[in-house]
Every structure is written in structure tokens, then in C-alpha cells.
């Protein structure tokens, strides 16, 4: 049974200004970080290897992976948090899987994904 009060609170917490990034996309997530009294924005750029739940769920998360100084770094971002300032999709990868965990075992050029090209519009001249 659904409670209207819980639904009302959940609706107020949802982010509608951001797009949920697709798996395989190269993204730059600008995330607000508090260090003591100061607050700053840190960019985390990498490939989305996993999405959990959908954008309608308050539990929606996505995992971004990058390689920094030879070590793989993964970060899980809750989608509806107010700490995310922006999510910019830099390029879309052509993937056939919902979870790209196999990228953890790959290094260098083997870890690259093909870019998904947008179809060009045809002009009948």
C-alpha cells in the first residue's frame, strides 16, 4: 500500500534537471565536496560502467570508472543527490551489455569503447 506522505516527500527529492547517463558513455560529473568549512566542485571524468535502478527511483545510482596514475578508480554517484552540480556526456560508447565489469580487466587501448555515432540526416535534394 502506497502512503501519500512518502510519495510527496519522494517527489520533492527527485532531480528532474539532469539526464540519467547511459552505460558506456564518457561523462564528466561535477560534484560538490565539503572540506571543513569550505566547499568546492570537483570534476570526476570516466566511463559509466553500471546503472542501478531507473531515474524514477530515489535509489538510482550510476558507477563511473577512470584510470588515474595506473590505478582504476570507481565512484558510485547517487543520482538524486543535491551534491551533483552537473553531468555532461562527452561521448557515447557503443555497448551491448548493461554492466561493463569486463573493463576492469582491460588496460590501455583494450579498455576503449567504440564511439556511438549519431545518424546523419538525409537531405533529398
Residue 6 has what DSSP assignment?
H
Domain 4-105 fold: SH3 type barrels. (2.30.30)
Sorted by where each begins, the domain ranges of the chain are: 4-105
- Separation of alpha carbons 31 and 44, rounded Å: 8
Provide the mean pLDDT of the chain: 89
Angle at the Cα of 123 from the Cα atoms of 118 and 125, rounded to 5 degrees: 165
Q: Please report the pLDDT score of residue 39 as a whole number.
A: 94
Q: What is the pLDDT of residues 22-80, one digit of tens each?
A: 999 999 999 999 999 999 999 999 999 999 988 888 889 999 999 999 899 999 999 99
- 58, 6 in Cβ contact below 8 A? no
Q: Closest Cα to residue 15, out of 85, 79, 62?
A: 79
- Separation of alpha carbons 37 and 60, rounded Å: 29
Q: Please report the pLDDT score of residue 78 as a whole number.
A: 93
Global pTM?
0.84
Q: Please report the pLDDT score of residue 94 as a whole number.
A: 92
Amino acid at each position: 500500500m502506497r502512503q501519500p506522505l512518502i510519495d510527496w516527500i519522494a517527489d520533492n527529492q527527485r532531480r528532474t534537471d539532469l539526464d540519467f547517463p547511459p552505460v558506456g558513455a564518457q561523462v564528466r560529473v561535477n560534484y560538490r565536496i565539503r572540506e571543513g568549512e569550505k566547499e568546492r566542485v570537483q570534476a570526476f571524468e570516466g566511463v559509466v560502467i553500471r546503472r542501478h535502478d531507473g531515474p524514477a527511483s530515489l535509489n538510482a545510482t550510476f558507477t563511473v570508472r577512470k584510470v588515474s596514475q595506473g590505478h582504476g578508480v570507481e565512484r558510485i554517484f547517487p543520482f538524486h543527490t543535491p551534491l551533483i552540480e552537473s553531468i555532461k556526456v562527452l561521448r557515447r560508447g557503443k555497448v551491448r551489455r548493461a554492466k561493463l565489469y569486463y573493463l576492469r580487466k582491460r588496460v590501455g587501448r583494450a579498455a576503449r569503447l567504440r564511439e556511438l555515432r549519431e545518424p546523419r540526416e538525409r537531405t533529398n535534394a
